Chain A
Amino acid sequence: SQQGEEDPQALSIQEGENATMNCSYKTSINNLQWYRQNSGRGLVHLILIRSNEREKHSGRLRVTLDTSKKSSSLLITASRAADTASYFCATGSGTYKYIFGTGTRLKVLA
């Protein structure tokens, strides 16, 4: 089964609104990353947060990590139509492979 499970599976918002998506995982991790995938293409790295960090920012992105709840959230502020994509969390646990979730499909309406 997947280590990371994103929630919601799909999200539709208006341009300018904030988008929040969540990721839950099952085992201890070293770090957690978020990736974006435009339709049928490769994944693009967005942000990495280590297990000893609680919050991280990058531009319009804010990621939080709660290791006690084994969960993370990705907030995209002031969404744009270009943010329309699928978003995946990936957990690294020192076993030399990342475990990806099933993704959240975000649609930003202009």
Chain B
Amino acid sequence: KAGVTQTPRYLIKTRGQQVTLSCSPISGHRSVSWYQQTPGQGLQFLFEYFSETQRNKGNFPGRFSGRQFSNSRSEMNVSTLELGDSALYLCASSPDRGSTGELFFGEGSRLTVL
């Protein structure tokens, strides 16, 4: 069974640009969560999607958005990039909703904002 796949793995953007990151969960997993990881703040919860609906959202500005498709694949978008958005963005999938069991993480997308 293939694991969680995140693309792209690395990307460099400049301030003011926007970026879209993609996450393909493990086949059969319906819940996808996104986390931002920075050296100073650790892992911060961004949002969770289940059955194409955002079920929970972390404390991030509206520049951060996401969506989930009918095949459970998810994308997150960051608009008007700031230097502080430089981070490793991690996607995790699980068979069912939220905080009831193990999360399966992808390798992450490392975003550098110049």
Q: A44-B105, A100-B42 are in contact. Are A95 and B4 (CB under 8 A)?
A: no
Bound-state CA distance A88–B97 (Å) is 21
The size class of the interface chain A forms with chain B is 20 to 34
Query: In the complex, which residues 85-107 of chain B have their Cβ closer than 8 Å to any Cβ of chain A?
Result: 88, 90, 92, 97-107
A35 to chain B, nearest CB (A): 8
A2–B42 CB distance below 8 A: yes
B110–A42 CB distance below 8 A: no
B90–A42 CB distance below 8 A: yes
B56–A97 CB distance below 8 A: yes
Main secondary structure of the interface of B (DSSP, over half): strand
Count of A-B contacts judged by CB separation below 8 Å: 73
Bound-state CA distance A42–B92 (Å) is 9
B91 to chain A, nearest CB (A): 9
The size class of the interface chain B forms with chain A is 20 to 34
Q: A40-B110, A93-B99 are in contact. Are A98 and B45 (CB under 8 A)?
A: yes
B55–A96 CB distance below 8 A: yes
Q: At the interface, yes or no: B58 with Cβ under 8 Å from chain A?
A: yes
Q: At the interface, yes or no: A72 with Cβ under 8 Å from chain B?
A: no
Collect the chain B residues with CB atoms within 8 Å of residue A94's CB: 98-99
B33–A100 CB distance below 8 A: no
Bound-state CA distance A51–B22 (Å) is 34
Collect the chain B residues with CB atoms within 8 Å of residue A95's CB: 56, 98-99
Further 13 A-B residue pairs, CB within 8 A, beyond A88-B42, A97-B56: A40-B108, A42-B108, A43-B43, A45-B102, A48-B102, A90-B103, A93-B99, A96-B98, A97-B48, A98-B99, A100-B43, A102-B42, A103-B42
Query: Which residues of B pack against A, CB within 8 Å?
Result: 4, 33, 35, 41-45, 48, 50, 55-56, 58, 88, 90, 92, 97-108, 110
